[in-house]
Structure 1
Amino acid sequence: MSTTEGAPFRYIDLFAGIGGFAAALEAFGGECVYSVEIDDAAAKVYERNWGHSPLGDITRDANDVVMNVPAHDLLAAGFPCQPFSKSGAQRGMEETRGTLYWNILKIIQAHHPTIVLLENVRNLAGPRHKHEWDVIIQTLRDEGYRVSETPSVFSPHLLPLERGGRPQVRERVFITATYDPDGLLGEVEAKPPLANLSLRGGEEWDLAADLPLSDGEVPGTALSADEVAWLEAWDDFVTTMWPVVRAANTDSEREATLPGFPIWVDRWIKAEQLEAWAAGAPGVPYRNRTDLPDLWDDVPAWKQNFLVKNARFYTRYKAQLDRWLARHEVATFPPSRRKLEWQAQQTPTLWECVLQLRPSGIRAKRPTHLPALVAITQTSIIGSARRRLSTTEAARLQGFPDNFDFGPQSAAATYKQLGNGVNIGAVWNMLRAHASRDRAVLEASEKGRSLLKAILDDAPKSPDDRLEHVVAEGQSRYAESMLPVAV
């Protein structure tokens, strides 16, 4: 564990991954007294950079019988969202049994840390998980915590660079709570900390300058010959159709763009053929129809909409589209590469976009920011560089400094760990906003005052000012732990 002398607060790091929470909390000056991560590869990276191994299982350390978690001032957890049972009418802790949140709650009941900081995917705050959300909020309130029932959904791309922001759209929900068993603020509503965040506003990101991107060839990021061929073909589509569509739609700037609906080559037929099928004509008028029922009325409404739009688009521009199909033998491409999801608005060429080769098709976005890193093989392609995002650039996107060491593991493992991680700048700013919101409560206790001073009063606006140093300190602790013990 960290051995920071005179640390202003002690924290625990649950479901720690490679240490996104640890990075922010170490930069605030905190001392880790317990961390846990069940994935061996992620735990090794964590240990290499923070000086102690989190490898373990929270279900063994925190349950009805065992409490092997030491006292602490701040609890951080990017916990998995397992479904809570909706059976029965009980509320509270019994409904969380069998989920990993229940183990977190056992720790909270045992130690009542001054601040609780939880993070999860945005869907936790969505309508499908309202029950789970309500249980989490209510169980925290039952334990004496001041917590907002309004979700704090936040993304690092909303922050300016000088606050630790990054050009990545990565929306996550944060639950921040302060222990306040005496209800010092009475009936004053606990509003979400987002109100205290300084956001970027309408300013756009510049990937090359703000990430930044590495120059020259980067090992392990090259596109395959097939990938280049697919993208060259679709770039020809973009550059061919841009002037055609613009000339055909001079009265409306909005219409003078490439289609925003998914462009499905396999669904290009004349509008009259589609209309005949919709009117009840027998047979499905597509060569590749494996995902379509025989009857039009059995096609889901969302898919009907896309079929109609593709048929109208093909009918209107049939001459140009047929010549494009012939130039590139698009019919030989894999099915998912015969689809284009154009979300790049007025961008003139495909190679100026940020691209993803997804199971749903080739997605193209404007080059102002990147989509969220994910833990599967959809690593973004930087069109202007004609290569994939490197692991170093992906780490920068999550806020890690360049001296963060992933060791000898494969690039695929690194991408996966970063895709599973939490953005450091988002954690830093959410915690500062929370401390600002609950300043009156924190000032009422010695532990609270120490946290307030470390997180808000003494800390810089961005974690970037400290991260390289705290990572170097963690790596030094790791190196010392690897030295042979004198006999």
Structure 2
Amino acid sequence: MIDDTLGSMLLCQRGWAKLPAMVASVPAFRFVDLFAGIGGFHAALSAYGGECKYAVEIDPAAARVYERNWGYDPLGDITKHANDDTMAVPEHEILAAGFPCQPFSKSGAQRGMEETRGTLFWNIARIIEERRPKVVILENVRNLAGPRHLHEWQVIIETLKDLDYRVSETPAIFSPHLLPPERGGRPQVRERVFITATHNPNGIGDGLPVGPVAFSNKAIDGWEPKEEWHLEDLLDDSHNIPGCELTSAERLWIDAWNDFVEIMWERREGRRLPGFPIWANSWRDYRDPIPPGTPAWKTSHLRKNYEFYRAHKDVLDAWAEKWGVFTDAFPPSRRKLEWQAQDTPRLWDTVMHFRPSGIRAKRPTYLPALVAITQTSIVGPRERRLSPRETARLQGLPDWFDFGDQRPGATYKQMGNGVNVGAVWHILRAHVERDEEILKTTPEGRSILHAVLDAAPLSPDGILAAMKPTA
């Protein structure tokens, strides 16, 4: 249930049921949602009391899901909506964008507006230049802040500064697993870079120091992710969800390696499996010298596998024979186990991923990031893959969120491309706290301050749950 204090601040948008103690009112702020996907930014910003004035998404399937849930058809091309000749984006106070990162031309090393031309960031910058939103929040993969993209990072930061925005040169990296559930956190390691900026033409508190960002990659409120998360917090009870079943071949691979884990657990008297990848193929070559020129990392793994095989040759040979590990039933990538599940005694008690490099097993606490391709997590205790609904929960979307009749593969892709709602909620709150001195100087800024810091709870979950659309 939502606190009564939210009443006048939350917009009852068209098609949504009224919330308890809520009256329709002027929205706290207007926002635009660029590269909108299925609406992760929309979920957080509307829950803060904002009204979406414009959204754009080029993928038709994602746009259909967005319209189905938020009542706005975002299908379109930002390069046609925001350029030198056209500005179809209306006035707004907050601009949000989970934008694709493209390499910028380094000719001339201008690191300014012109250097971004021809990229999608240039279209974002054109909107900012024309509309001057009070707050900008951009999201991207962590690699944007890595050494390979240093030039792109500097261009983005310098462009925002040239447009009179207060922005940190230090990346703000955050993941939803660092937030406890009562702050909208989710058991998913999904590190993303957030660039947040406030329009600051008067230079109030300008010159952010280079150094750690207050809301960057650290757990909140003493939360201990490795100890306190468990996937049971979001899983459905059912073992049988259409489209999530394991194939007979997949069950064979898991059963075989589960047997291996149990054998080694008993043989090693309860000591955890080695941390290096177990390569069954290497056991067949254990007498051969390692070829010259083999990379150091591979040499190390091979030596450890040879030693492991020599110590347990009798049971390993019997195990491989029993399960047909060296037959066509086991592709090379399924003859390798990457054990990251610590003291878990059974493979079926872990979360697994069928990767090109092998089968990776982790404790059933939090998951690696959802990805927009294959490798959907297999939940051992459920003997199936994560369901589309469960992936939506991992991204912070409420259970009423509707994907229509689209195939599960499309939903997995959209979740892998999406932004986590709780992470956006937290980052925006931290940013507004940081730039409070600037925001309180204008009516629009004060409205954002009130909506984010005064009227909203610490988590968007209760608000979003109550936003279920009317029939």
- Output the TM-score relative to the length of structure 2: 0.91
Paired AA for residue 109 in structure 2: A
Does 2:249 match 1:223? no
User: Which SS does the other structure have where 1:178 is aligned?
Assistant: strand
Specify which of 117, 128, 143 is matched with residue 123 of structure 1. 143
Deviations 1:269-304 (A, max 9, x none): 464422xxx4xxxxxxxxxxxxxxxxx233233222
Distance 2:244 2:287 in 1: 45
Counterpart position of 2:427: 430
Does 2:237 match 1:214? yes
Does 2:353 match 1:356? yes
User: Which SS does the other structure have where 2:138 is aligned?
Assistant: strand
Residues 193 and 447 from structure 1, CA distance in 2 versus in 1: closer, same or farther, beyond 3 angstroms?
farther
Paired AA for residue 277 in structure 2: P
Distance 1:304 1:47 in 2: 53
Report deviation, 1:308. 2.1
Counterpart position of 2:205: 185
Report deviation, 1:206. 4.3
Counterpart position of 2:397: 400
Specify which of 257, 267, 292 is matched with residue 234 of structure 1. 257
RMSD (Å), alpha carbons: 1.9
Distance 1:127 1:199 in 2: 31
> Is the 2:239–2:384 contact (alpha carbons within 8 Å) kept by the matching residues of 1?
no
Report deviation, 1:90. 2.1
Residues 83 and 200 from structure 1, CA distance in 2 versus in 1: closer, same or farther, beyond 3 angstroms?
farther
Report deviation, 1:197. 7.7
Report deviation, 1:177. 0.6
Specify which of 273, 289, 295 is matched with residue 288 of structure 2. 273
Specify which of 304, 309, 313 is matched with residue 304 of structure 2. 309
Query: Higher mean Cα deviation, 374-383 or 256-265?
Result: 256-265
Specify which of 350, 364, 378 is matched with residue 367 of structure 1. 364
Distance 1:178 1:67 in 2: 21
Distance 1:212 1:310 in 2: 36
Query: Higher mean Cα deviation, 156-165 or 212-221?
Result: 212-221
> Is the 1:269–1:311 contact (alpha carbons within 8 Å) kept by the matching residues of 2?
no
Distance 1:403 1:63 in 2: 37
Counterpart position of 2:61: 41
Counterpart position of 1:16: 36
Paired AA for residue 260 in structure 1: G
Distance 1:442 1:350 in 2: 52
Counterpart position of 1:202: 224
Distance 1:103 1:135 in 2: 14
Report deviation, 1:128. 1.1
Counterpart position of 2:277: 262
Query: Higher mean Cα deviation, 237-246 or 95-104?
Result: 237-246
Counterparts of 1:239-254 in structure 2, within 5 Å, are 239-246=262-269
Report deviation, 1:360. 1.4
Give unmatched runs, 5+ long, in structure 1.
248-255, 279-295, 480-487
Counterparts of 1:430-449 in structure 2, within 5 Å, are 430-449=427-446
Report deviation, 1:244. 2.2
Distance 2:214 2:73 in 1: 32
Distance 2:48 2:209 in 1: 27
Query: Higher mean Cα deviation, 414-423 or 311-320?
Result: 311-320
Report deviation, 1:385. 1.1
Deviations 1:194-234 (A, max 9, x none): 06983453252443542243334222221111111110000
Paired AA for residue 13 in structure 1: D
User: Which SS does the other structure have where 1:298 is aligned?
Assistant: coil
User: Which SS does the other structure have where 2:292 is aligned?
Assistant: helix
Give unmatched runs, 5+ long, in structure 2.
1-10, 15-23
Report deviation, 1:65. 1.6
Distance 2:464 2:147 in 1: 37
Report deviation, 1:455. 1.2
Report deviation, 1:130. 1.0
Counterpart position of 1:251: none
Paired AA for residue 192 in structure 1: V
> Is the 2:28–2:50 contact (alpha carbons within 8 Å) kept by the matching residues of 1?
yes
Distance 1:174 1:360 in 2: 30
User: Which SS does the other structure have where 2:202 is aligned?
Assistant: coil
> Is the 2:239–2:383 contact (alpha carbons within 8 Å) kept by the matching residues of 1?
no
Distance 2:93 2:50 in 1: 9
- Output the TM-score relative to the length of structure 1: 0.88
Structure 1 segments (4+ residues) deviating >6 Å: none
Distance 2:278 2:106 in 1: 40
Residues 272 and 212 from structure 1, CA distance in 2 versus in 1: closer, same or farther, beyond 3 angstroms?
closer
Specify which of 319, 329, 338 is matched with residue 341 of structure 1. 338
Residues 177 and 121 from structure 1, CA distance in 2 versus in 1: closer, same or farther, beyond 3 angstroms?
same
Counterpart position of 1:282: none
Deviations 1:12-71 (A, max 9, x none): 000000000000011011011110000000000000000010000000011122111111
User: Which SS does the other structure have where 2:326 is aligned?
Assistant: helix
> Is the 1:270–1:314 contact (alpha carbons within 8 Å) kept by the matching residues of 2?
no
> Is the 2:166–2:206 contact (alpha carbons within 8 Å) kept by the matching residues of 1?
no
> Is the 1:161–1:210 contact (alpha carbons within 8 Å) kept by the matching residues of 2?
no
Specify which of 279, 293, 315 is matched with residue 320 of structure 1. 315
Report deviation, 1:82. 1.3
Report deviation, 1:188. 5.3
Distance 2:159 2:214 in 1: 20
Report deviation, 1:81. 1.1
Distance 1:454 1:49 in 2: 23
Paired AA for residue 83 in structure 2: N
Deviations 1:138-188 (A, max 9, x none): 111111111111111111011000000011111111111111111111445
Counterpart position of 1:101: 121
Paired AA for residue 194 in structure 1: F
Distance 1:395 1:450 in 2: 30
> Is the 2:231–2:366 contact (alpha carbons within 8 Å) kept by the matching residues of 1?
no
Deviations 1:442-486 (A, max 9, x none): 11111100011111110011000110233x2xx44xx7xxxxxxx
Report deviation, 1:245. 3.1
* Identity rate, percent: 60
